[in-house]
Amino acid sequence: MSDHTTEEITPEDDTELAVEAALESRQHHPSDLTYVGIAIILAVFTAIEVGIYYLHPSTWTALSLLFFMMLKFGVVVAYFMHLRFDSPIFRRLFIGGLTLAVVVYTLVLFMFGFYHF
């Protein structure tokens, strides 16, 4: 039999490790001022989208709204859902979901004859 010595982790050690991990993860997150700035940028993008919506509907209108939808999705996911600071696998999953949503949305628009060639 092998002679392995294992260290017992006490509840105090476990608490210290949890506090260390929480402090370390907090260092990677933006400040409150950054969140306010992101919210203002999202409000500006939304105002632009509303303005575009009131233009004459065309292919370019729909494409520009899709572009702003993807842009806002990326900003919200990156900052407010903290994806920017997480593992790259989560980023790939969200990009895959966004791609699927855009493809499905575009196909539905084609099916209902919104895009004309």
Q: What is the pLDDT of residues 97-108, one digit of tens each?
A: 888 988 898 888
- How far is CA 60 from its chain centroid? 25
Calculate the average pLDDT of the chain. Answer: 78
Model pLDDT for residues 61-76, shown as the tens digit of each residue:
888 888 898 889 888 8
What pLDDT is attached to residue 113? 74
Model pLDDT for residues 3-12, shown as the tens digit of each residue:
555 566 666 6
**CA angle (75 as vertex; 71, 35 as ends), nearest 5:** 145
- Could you give phi then psi for residue 86, rounded to 5 degrees? -95, -175
End-to-end C-alpha distance for the chain, whole angstroms = 76
What pLDDT is attached to residue 44? 95
Q: Is 79 exposed, middle or buried (0-12, 13-18, 19+ CB in 10 A)?
A: buried
pTM for this structure? 0.60
% the chain with pLDDT above 70: 74
Alpha helices per DSSP H over the chain: 11-27, 32-53, 59-75, 88-111
- Could you give phi then psi for residue 91, rounded to 5 degrees? -60, -45
Sign of CA dihedral 47, 52, 53, 55: positive
Domain borders along the chain are 11-111
